[in-house]
Amino acid sequence: MQKGETGTINAEAEAKKPNLTQVANIAIDEKGLLYVNWDLRRKEQTLVALAEAIKLVSTHKPNIIEPARPSFIEGTRNFLLGKKH
């Protein structure tokens, strides 16, 4: 038989969820032309949102993991010990 269980909703987590409103639809075609649709009543909010989005995109730096280069000392040590790569 299955056991009946009750669950609780974390009210604090529910309260911290942002209430999102879409202010613009942006699309691009194969020629590279941009199409933007926005609500005329929210012109200032749309301009601020687009400016913030441009700022975020322009300052984004991807996580590039560079492999560690072996040091000269490590290579010399491996040579003296006879280790092969």
For 16-24, what is the mean pLDDT?
Answer: 84
In this structure, is residue 5 part of a structural domain?
A: no
User: What is the token pair recorded at 38?
Assistant: 């926005």
In this structure, is residue 25 part of a structural domain?
A: yes
Tens of pLDDT, residues 33-83: 999 898 889 999 999 999 998 999 889 888 888 877 766 666 676 666 666
Per the structure, the count of domains in the chain is 1
Tens of pLDDT, residues 61-73: 888 888 777 666 6
- Tell me the C-alpha to C-alpha distance, in Å, between residue 2 and each of 5, 6, 9, 78: 9, 13, 22, 62
Question: Could you tell me the residue range of the domain that residue 53 belongs to?
Answer: 20-60
